[in-house]
Structure 1
Amino acid sequence: MASHPLIDRLTTEFGFPRLMTEEARDAYIGAPGVHVLFIPGDPVRNLETTDVAVILPELMQAFQNAFDCAVVDDAIEAATREMAAVYKTPSLIFYRAGIQIGALPRVRDWADYMARIAQILAARTEPLDA
């Protein structure tokens, strides 16, 4: 992974796991709860990457830890973007119990994050009663 102190801070200071294999990714997103995969992309070529790395812990706090987060390593970035059909970076991809419930590519303004994440968290993943 193209190292950058603000991305490294997510794993060292905030304790986000760094997912380096597809098996680790699948186990992480398949666990109970809501999980966010942060796909940083290249922080040297894409200046938005570091912005999202700073914003992500603030979003967790704003949503009172309604979700947890992991950093996707370069080794599985392309496969993860393909699996999620989200090709722009940086991206936040939301899962509940292994089911993708939303994605936010690129950096957004705060109001957009607040509205879109609230919608994503409200998404149903279980079948409606017949």
Structure 2
Amino acid sequence: MSHPLITRLTTEFGWPRFEDMGSLEDWRGGAGAHVLFVPGDPARNLETADVAVILPELRQAFQGRFDCAVCGDAIEEQVRNETKVFKTPSLIFWRAGEMIGAVPKVRDWDDYMARVAHILSLPVAAE
């Protein structure tokens, strides 16, 4: 199930939407930092639309220090189980194929700024 604001992320911004784990693994293993938006059910969770609006603003605020993608319905449960980030909507961060952090649920702007800055500053064991 999608929402117009989630669809906008893939159509207007050109972010990939992953429906299989292999494609997701290839993407998150690439160079740089990556953020996967795990929307949950937008019909049941009104915060999903809020995070769909906030994520492009975060990317801009951090001057493109991470790329973004959307988790498709087909793999959402598997991603949540793998990362142990069960609350949605959530933003899950990876670098060099390793999860480096997550921001579940909607937050106020200052909280996002602090959490994302902290996550992006974390080292990865493989680096």
**TM-score when normalising by structure 2:** 0.97
Aligned to 1:54: 53
- How far apart are the structure 2 equivalents of 1:80 and 1:13? 25
One-letter code of the match for 2:90? S
Q: Which amino acid aligns with 2:82?
A: M
Write out per-residue CA displacement over residues 45-79 of structure 1, whole angstroms, 9 at most, x where no aligned residue. 00000000000000000000000000000000000
The alpha carbon displacement at 1:3 in A equals 1.6
Aligned to 2:34: 35
**CA RMSD after TM alignment:** 1.1
In structure 2, what is the Cα distance between the partners aligned to 1:92 and 1:50? Answer: 13
Divergent runs of 4+, >2 A:
none
* Residues 1:124 and 2:116 aligned together: no
TM-score w.r.t. length of structure 1: 0.95
Q: Report the identity percentage.
A: 62
Quote the offset at 1:126 in angstroms.
3.6
Q: Which residue of 2 aligns with 1:21?
A: 20
Unaligned runs of 5+ in 2: none
For 1:97, the equivalent position in structure 2 comes to 96
2:76 alignment counterpart: 77
1:9 maps onto 2:8 in alignment: yes
Shift, 1:32, TM fit: 1.0
Query: Is the contact made by 2:96 and 2:126 (CA closer than 8 Å) also made in structure 1?
Result: no
SS of residue matched to 1:86: coil
Question: How many residues align structurally?
Answer: 127
